[in-house]
Amino acid sequence: MKVQALPSVEGNFNLKNYEEAAESFDWSTVEQQFTWSETGKLNLAYEAIDRHVSGDRANKVALYYSDANRDEQYTFEDMKKYSNKAGNILRDAGVKKGDRVFIFMPRSPELYFAVLGAIKIGAIVGPLFEAFMEGAVRDRLEDSDAKVLVTTPALLERVPVGDLPNLESVFIIDESYEENGPYLNFLTRLNGANEDLDIEWVDREDGLILHYTSGSTGKPKGVLHVHNAMLQHYQTAKWVLDLQEDDIYWCTADPGWVTGTSYGIFGPWLVGATNVIRGGRFSPQDWYETLERYKVTVWYSAPTAFRMLMSAGDEVLKKYDLSSLRHLLSVGEPLNPEVVRWGMKVFDLRIHDTWWMTETGAQIICNYPCMEIRPGSMGKPIPGVKAAIIDDQGNELPPNRMGNLAIQKGWPSMMRTVWNNEEKYKSYFEIEGWYVSGDSAYMDEDGYFWFQGRIDDVIMTAGERVGPFEVESKLVEHPAVAEAGVIGKPDPVRGEIIKAFIALRDGYEVSDELQEDIRNFVKKGLAAHAAPREIEFRDKLPKTRSGKIMRRVLKAWELDLPTGDLSTMED
């Protein structure tokens, strides 16, 4: 693959010489950035907020928040006050160190107060994407034994409180909500709460956040990260996001996903940056307006979003003054060279791809401002972390050979367990010394990594990871569905779309209404983004003799590829 490289650019970057840093970097030097290296008192939320108040950023804007109805700003001092209050009201509700506090709501300032407040009292935060439906919410609260939930009146109907005996309190974000039983009013309590908080000092290995993410089999898994991850959040916010004192930073991801916490909360605030949060849904006008209005300088988004902006046309874009932008980044799925070229054309800036996963907790393979970019490549591992392409026995492969993308075990923000599922956790580390990502890739002679695909069947649709098994399980709950097989089908805008192959039960006839009904069933039971955009009915699905749906065969049918070895298929 030969693509024209985009040369490194001149500038005063936080990382000036990649090669040098990659050779000599030592993580213990990052510890000195934090108060705990002197006091021994450690808590990520303290370092992200309070430390800046004691320093000289008390009056610096930490958060610009806006949506269709609200337009607010909060300094670091304000953030300290409100997160302290949130910590106090959660503690009053009985939350103790290590308890799981779930946050299920659309973006709003209160979401950020609640997350930081929970962390300040040593709780483990479980953020849930607002689009999750009852089944998905139940699975996650049940698996994690959540003690407290913070949500909004509109989402409350999707929380099966009665089925969750360990859920003690539900905070509702609504001024006029009348408290009863386990239902508490978040806003009135927040108003009345003390502004001072006894922070719970924790160990660097204590739990911080639990992100549920999809695999190809089984229910979503709870990936646990610990306070120690702050080392990597901080350092990558410097090197990769290149955040500097005057930057206005916007990460478009929702905190329901790991990008929206690691780089929507932790990274930017650990380095004391000004963070823009825009609520509401995507629209090209709205996004360009947000960039223009706040004079955003550093912007972190996803290929899907860039492609949607591309397809909205450059005329829309020309109406806005986006000259404040100086650094663009992308994550979530392959960043097509086409999109990089578009970025060069319309912003006159390179879009910097970054590769990482929920499980890695922070960026791993990235393109840096000080470095040449090869469009289509994810870049190089961050200094201090070793990545490699290995075969199934753990041998490192030479350049240009495709294999498993693996990371040497032990980087600071590595997940520490899969909740309630140590076996699953161990399955990532079956090759001695390595974390095996499930992605296939190759490395070129110069150390740039090139993504090739997922090795398992996980679907990446519009930047969101969807496990085929979870969708299939939901599909077969529908009365008409006998069997279902789900695959990702390549799509120019969404990366992949979800396609379901379905065999109906006897007595059901194929119809447009039935198709729509099945789609809605998944939408309501799981989440809108998990509903199949395409459904194809078949008399029978390809299965192994042991009864496993052969998604690889479905995919081959769909894409007109050779089906490969069919020896395990039932006849």
Q: Which residue has the tokens 């930047």?
A: 463
Beta strands 124-128 and 148-151, pairing class: unpaired
Residue with Cβ nearer ligand WT7 (49 or 339): 339
**Contact present, 187 and 175 (Cβ < 8 Å):** yes
**Residue 142 CB, nearest distance to ligand WT7 (Å)?**
21
Q: How far is 395 from 392, CA to CA, in rounded Å?
A: 8
Residue 259 sits in the site that holds ligand WT7 (CB under 6 A): yes
Pick from 424, 539, 557, 428: nearest CA to 487: 557
Q: Which of 358, 377, 404, 461 binds ligand WT7 (CB under 6 A)?
A: 358
* CB 225 to ligand WT7: min, Å: 12
Binding mask 514-543 for ligand WT7 (x = CB under 6 A): ------------------------------
Closest approach of ligand WT7 to the CB of residue 153, in Å:
29
Measured from the CB of residue 257, what is the shortest distance to ligand WT7 in angstroms?
A: 6
| Contacting range for ligand WT7; rule: CB under 6 A; set: 270-278, 351-359, 423-431, 512-520 | 351-359
H helix runs in 295-420, sequence order: 303-312, 314-318, 337-347
In the complex with ligand WT7, the residue whose CB is nearer, 193 or 405, is 405
Q: Mask of contacts with ligand WT7, 185-224, x by CB under 6 A?
A: ----------------------------x-----------
Question: Within 13 Å and on the Cβ side, how many CA atoms surround 104?
Answer: 29
For ligand WT7, the closer of residues 172 and 258 by Cβ is 258
User: Which position has the token pair 């927040």?
Assistant: 190
Least distance (Å) between residue 379 CB and ligand WT7: 8
Is 334 one of the binding residues for ligand WT7 (CB under 6 A)?
Answer: yes
Q: Hey, is 94 helix, strand or coil?
A: coil
With residue 5 as reference, give the H or E element that holds it: none
Range in contact with ligand WT7 (rule: CB under 6 A) among 1-9, 56-64, 286-294, 432-440: 432-440
- Asked whether position 332 contacts ligand WT7 by CB under 6 A, the answer is yes
CB 114 within 8 A of CB 135: no
CB closer to ligand WT7 out of 119 and 258 = 258
The two structure tokens encoding residue 178: 């009348």
Please give the full DSSP string across 417-465, using - where no structure is assigned: EETT-HHHHHHTT-STTEEEEEEEEEE-TTS-EEEEEESS--EEETTEE
Residue 16 has which token pair? 């000036």
* For ligand WT7, the closer CB: 255 or 332: 332
Of 75, 83, 404, 437, the one binding ligand WT7 (CB under 6 A) is: 437
User: Cα–Cα distance between 365 and 266 in angstroms, integer?
Assistant: 19
Under rule CB under 6 A, which residues in 378-417 are in contact with ligand WT7? 378
Query: Residues 286, 292, 296, 299: what is their CA dihedral angle, to the nearest 10 degrees?
Result: 40
Q: Which is nearer to ligand WT7, 75 or 363 (CB)?
A: 363
Q: Which one among 451, 469, 521, 537 touches ligand WT7, defined by CB under 6 A?
A: 451
Stretch of residues binding ligand WT7 (CB under 6 A), selected from 15-23, 48-56, 326-334, 479-487: 326-334
Q: Cα(57)–Cα(427) distance, rounded to whole angstroms? A: 44
**Are 108 and 70 in contact, with CB atoms under 8 Å apart?**
yes
Site for ligand WT7, rule CB under 6 A:
213, 258-259, 331-335, 353-358, 378, 437-439, 451, 454, 460, 465
